[in-house]
Amino acid sequence: MIYIIYFLAGLFIVLACAMLYAFYRGRDFGLFIMGVTYGTSGVLALALPHWWPLVAGFVLVWLLKLLGLEPSLEPEKRDE
């Protein structure tokens, strides 16, 4: 069970790095908050080898999505 927790914590940290890089490129504040949430829960799951930080981080990110902080996928408008 500990290896599954370590694997998921590493996956959360990689996901956090990807979200923070996307924030750097697009400046969407929701990506920053969700990336920090994923990263914090991943690091906390590594420091305390328990499953609850992963579940708490996942639930918090879903709450942020329900609040509307998820980035929208709008196509770019081109002037012709």
Model confidence, pTM = 0.84
**Residue 2 predicted with pLDDT over 80:** yes
80 or 28, which is more confident? 28
Instruction: With respect to residue 73, please indicate whether it lies within any of the assigned structural domains.
Output: no
Q: How many domains does the chain fold into?
A: 1
Instruction: With respect to residue 71, please indicate whether it lies within any of the assigned structural domains.
Output: no
Q: What is the pLDDT of residue 75?
A: 64
Instruction: With respect to residue 11, please indicate whether it lies within any of the assigned structural domains.
Output: yes
Instruction: With respect to residue 77, please indicate whether it lies within any of the assigned structural domains.
Output: no
Q: State the alpha helices, DSSP H only, in the chain.
A: 2-26, 29-47, 52-66
Amino acid sitting at position 64: L
Quote the domain boundaries for residue 19.
2-66
Q: How many residues does the chain have?
A: 80
Q: What is the pLDDT of residue 64?
A: 93
Instruction: With respect to residue 9, please indicate whether it lies within any of the assigned structural domains.
Output: yes
Instruction: With respect to residue 72, please indicate whether it lies within any of the assigned structural domains.
Output: no
